[in-house]
Chain A
């Protein structure tokens, strides 16, 4: 970071459009994101059209705390948007970055976040090609809000939709669930719980490439962010008008995450993830997809957790350890910790 920003904070001037703004843009953003598209400093980025379908998505990031074990808001802002693109089978290419900064934010914090964004963008193989910065008065925002939009290209012939799951399909997850939600819960200051968990925050586009390289029968892909795996399964069951059966003893949950959930009365199936996908694949391809996933860093703990059935439409059922069944319903409001 440029020495002139040492111990300096964001002021309203940084959002004024004047010299302070343009200095901040070139010193922090253009320098760090460092690509030809951004360097032109035009009002828009321009790039050539490619064949295939375009995929476009946007997401806003407002997480508290800004830095947590396994990630930070900057990393999230890239992984979230890259993953949303990848779930269509698209190769993510370009991202935008819109920032809302609260007056008083240390510039060193901003710099750290932007560097984390760039590092994650490099891992994903995407470029941040345009952006926007606004500053609001102290109290009008919580330090920093980020919006990223992204475009990607879906290769010809790839058709992955949440409405395409069919009876007989297998349900695969790429690893342990609930780690992000549990990390955020326990890193909030008011909770005196400390468990050895890192957020699963990671880009999934390379994993999706690996999946698509071995199967043309991927019916649905969803990243299980807010609302967790249970919510995504409900969306797929609803959209595809199918029933989904999950086996409780197959669902991978780390011991510390289970512990946090036990103490707070939460269900890991509903906890947010930031690097976990649910893959619905035709039964005949399930084993080869599972193996391909297990050979990647993002999918080394992948496993089959259940299957699609012709049971009642729109229902997700959990077959419990004891052989009973319970409905995994849609979450109503936030998960609130139970009193005792």
Chain B
């Protein structure tokens, strides 16, 4: 393989699209509506827009953008707690790039940085650990977020901190778990999803077995999918095939990376360092049981929640915000009351407008004017 061009070959795409067209014409749903496939992961949403895949699908097939953008589902209260921590004069606050722009109740981390707080963008939690070692007189906090994909590296950093005796490193843990989230979507009233594109990188960690209940209990197909355009198209084709045959199975398209049993060496640090929270508050979706993790007692000295005596404060979303409906696939982004008006990527009201992976931001950036261009 020279690069990833093999997974971006327009000729192959045309072939699969033809097959998809054919399958779609052969599937009849009980209700008169388009077939809806939810891509759970924000990375898929990004690829779909990046390559304009949504424009290439037949009219009776739609993507519904799911809750899998970890930045988008961050509640205001968490951002507010980040701000509380980062305001301490002896703190260097570190996090991933696009978490910096998420609005809290008043300001974002980017705003606070402009006010003079020491907030640094890192590419790995290990960078944060290195900053802690270089600045022994500062308390260095890493704001850990993301699904199972980013959990192992955060857990390993905490283990490294202990191994190397770094006692000025703290983790503000806001990692979330995918399974309870998909379950919440499946249980929500008005749910109309016919099948799922399973999150490729989460599946790389947890495997495909944890999805089994989706097929067994809810009778929906899920295909663990890669992120290149051909990966996505092939996965859609696999879902449609199941729908046509009246099947509901868990399949793995991303087999070059994902194994059914997951990755044991990535799972073991997660189990070593974290434990499930009773519940986690999501922006848009509200509280979901067991959907987040926190640092366990063994590693509590690295827990920023304890070090900074953080209280759990719930800050409700603004009334006008309809992020929840969009996340559950009930509303399309442009059907939200404030989309493109009070809520734009420049001044995001809801988190779906914040990250380029957010369904609303992607629609705002890529979706508008497309019809005009295509004419």
Contact B127 A332 (CB under 8 A): no
Partner of B146 from the list A258, A322, A339 (CB cut-off 8 Å) is A339
Contact B370 A339 (CB under 8 A): no
Q: Cβ of B53: which chain A residues have Cβ within 8 Å of it? A: 322, 324
- Residue-wise, chain B 144-175 has the 8 Å CB interface mask toward A (1 for contact) of 01110110000000000000000000000000
A214 and B70 alpha carbons, distance in the complex (Å)? 54
Q: Cβ of B365: which chain A residues have Cβ within 8 Å of it? A: 327, 329
B110 and chain A: residue at smallest CB distance: A333
B49 at interface by CB-CB < 8 Å: yes
A323 and B233 alpha carbons, distance in the complex (Å)? 14
Q: Cβ of A324: which chain B residues have Cβ within 8 Å of it? A: 51-56
Contact B374 A325 (CB under 8 A): yes
A336 at interface by CB-CB < 8 Å: yes
- Residue-wise, chain A 238-255 has the 8 Å CB interface mask toward B (1 for contact) of 000001010000000001
Contact A327 B369 (CB under 8 A): yes
A324 and B10 alpha carbons, distance in the complex (Å)? 11
A157 and B149 alpha carbons, distance in the complex (Å)? 60
Q: How close is A264's CB to chain B, nearest CB, in angstroms?
A: 8
Q: Cβ of B55: which chain A residues have Cβ within 8 Å of it? A: 324-325
B4 at interface by CB-CB < 8 Å: yes
A326 and B45 alpha carbons, distance in the complex (Å)? 13
Q: Identify which of B27-35, B94-102, B282-290, B320-328 touches chain A.
A: B94-102
B230 and chain A: residue at smallest CB distance: A322
Q: How close is B147's CB to chain A, nearest CB, in angstroms?
A: 8
B195 at interface by CB-CB < 8 Å: no
A30 at interface by CB-CB < 8 Å: no
A258 and chain B: residue at smallest CB distance: B3
Q: How close is A63's CB to chain B, nearest CB, in angstroms?
A: 18
Contact B52 A326 (CB under 8 A): yes
For window 91-116 of B, CB contacts with A under 8 Å fall at 96-101, 110
A339 and B96 alpha carbons, distance in the complex (Å)? 6
Q: Identify which of A7-15, A38-46, A312-320 touches chain B.
A: A312-320
Q: Cβ of A49: which chain B residues have Cβ within 8 Å of it? A: none
A243 and chain B: residue at smallest CB distance: B373
A123 at interface by CB-CB < 8 Å: no
Q: Identify which of A320, A321, A322, A327 gathers the most chain B CB atoms within 10 Å of its CB.
A: A322
Partner of A340 from the list B110, B146, B368 (CB cut-off 8 Å) is B146
Q: Identify which of A191, A259, A312, A325 gathers the most chain B CB atoms within 10 Å of its CB.
A: A325
B181 at interface by CB-CB < 8 Å: no
Contact B101 A336 (CB under 8 A): yes
Q: Given A312-B372, A324-B56, A327-B366, check contact A338 B146 (CB 8 Å).
A: no
Q: How close is B71's CB to chain A, nearest CB, in angstroms?
A: 6
A190 at interface by CB-CB < 8 Å: yes
B18 at interface by CB-CB < 8 Å: no
For window 248-292 of A, CB contacts with B under 8 Å fall at 255, 258-259, 262, 264
- Residue-wise, chain B 1-34 has the 8 Å CB interface mask toward A (1 for contact) of 0011000101001000000000000000000000
Q: Cβ of A325: which chain B residues have Cβ within 8 Å of it? A: 52, 55, 370, 373-374
Q: How close is A254's CB to chain B, nearest CB, in angstroms?
A: 11
Q: Cβ of A17: which chain B residues have Cβ within 8 Å of it? A: none
A52 at interface by CB-CB < 8 Å: no
Q: Given A320-B52, A338-B356, check contact A326 B366 (CB 8 Å).
A: yes
A65 at interface by CB-CB < 8 Å: no
What is the total number of residues of chain A having a CB less than 8 Å from a CB of chain B? 29
A321 and B229 alpha carbons, distance in the complex (Å)? 10
Q: Identify which of A333, A337, A339 gathers the most chain B CB atoms within 10 Å of its CB.
A: A339
Q: Cβ of B370: which chain A residues have Cβ within 8 Å of it? A: 317, 325-327
Partner of A339 from the list B50, B99, B127 (CB cut-off 8 Å) is B99
B121 at interface by CB-CB < 8 Å: yes
B54 and chain A: residue at smallest CB distance: A324
B100 and chain A: residue at smallest CB distance: A336
Contact B3 A255 (CB under 8 A): yes
Q: Cβ of B98: which chain A residues have Cβ within 8 Å of it? A: 336-339
A262 and B50 alpha carbons, distance in the complex (Å)? 12
Q: Cβ of A245: which chain B residues have Cβ within 8 Å of it? A: 373
Q: Given A315-B373, A325-B374, check contact A337 B97 (CB 8 Å).
A: yes
Q: Cβ of B149: which chain A residues have Cβ within 8 Å of it? A: 340
A312 and B4 alpha carbons, distance in the complex (Å)? 33
Contact B50 A326 (CB under 8 A): yes
Q: Cβ of B147: which chain A residues have Cβ within 8 Å of it? A: 340
Contact B97 A311 (CB under 8 A): no
B65 at interface by CB-CB < 8 Å: no
Q: How close is A188's CB to chain B, nearest CB, in angstroms?
A: 10
A338 and B49 alpha carbons, distance in the complex (Å)? 15
Contact A340 B70 (CB under 8 A): yes
Q: Cβ of A339: which chain B residues have Cβ within 8 Å of it? A: 70-71, 96-99, 145-146, 150, 355
A262 and B150 alpha carbons, distance in the complex (Å)? 17
Q: Cβ of A340: which chain B residues have Cβ within 8 Å of it? A: 43, 70, 146-147, 149-150, 201
A203 and B101 alpha carbons, distance in the complex (Å)? 36
Contact A191 B123 (CB under 8 A): yes
Partner of A311 from the list B4, B8, B372 (CB cut-off 8 Å) is B372
Partner of A332 from the list B46, B56, B345 (CB cut-off 8 Å) is B345
Contact A322 B13 (CB under 8 A): yes
Q: How close is B191's CB to chain A, nearest CB, in angstroms?
A: 26
Q: Cβ of A259: which chain B residues have Cβ within 8 Å of it? A: 3
Q: How close is A253's CB to chain B, nearest CB, in angstroms?
A: 11
> Would you list 18 pairs from A and B whose C-beta atoms are within 8 A, ordered by A residue?
A262-B4, A312-B372, A312-B373, A321-B8, A322-B10, A326-B50, A326-B370, A327-B368, A327-B370, A332-B345, A336-B98, A336-B100, A336-B101, A336-B121, A337-B97, A339-B96, A339-B355, A340-B201
Which 5 A-B residue pairs are closest in the complex by CB-CB distance?
A324-B52, A336-B97, A337-B97, A324-B55, A326-B366
Query: B residues touching A (Cβ–Cβ < 8 Å)?
Result: 3-4, 8, 10, 13, 43, 46, 49-56, 70-71, 96-101, 110, 121-123, 127, 145-147, 149-150, 201, 229, 345-346, 355-357, 365-366, 368-370, 372-374
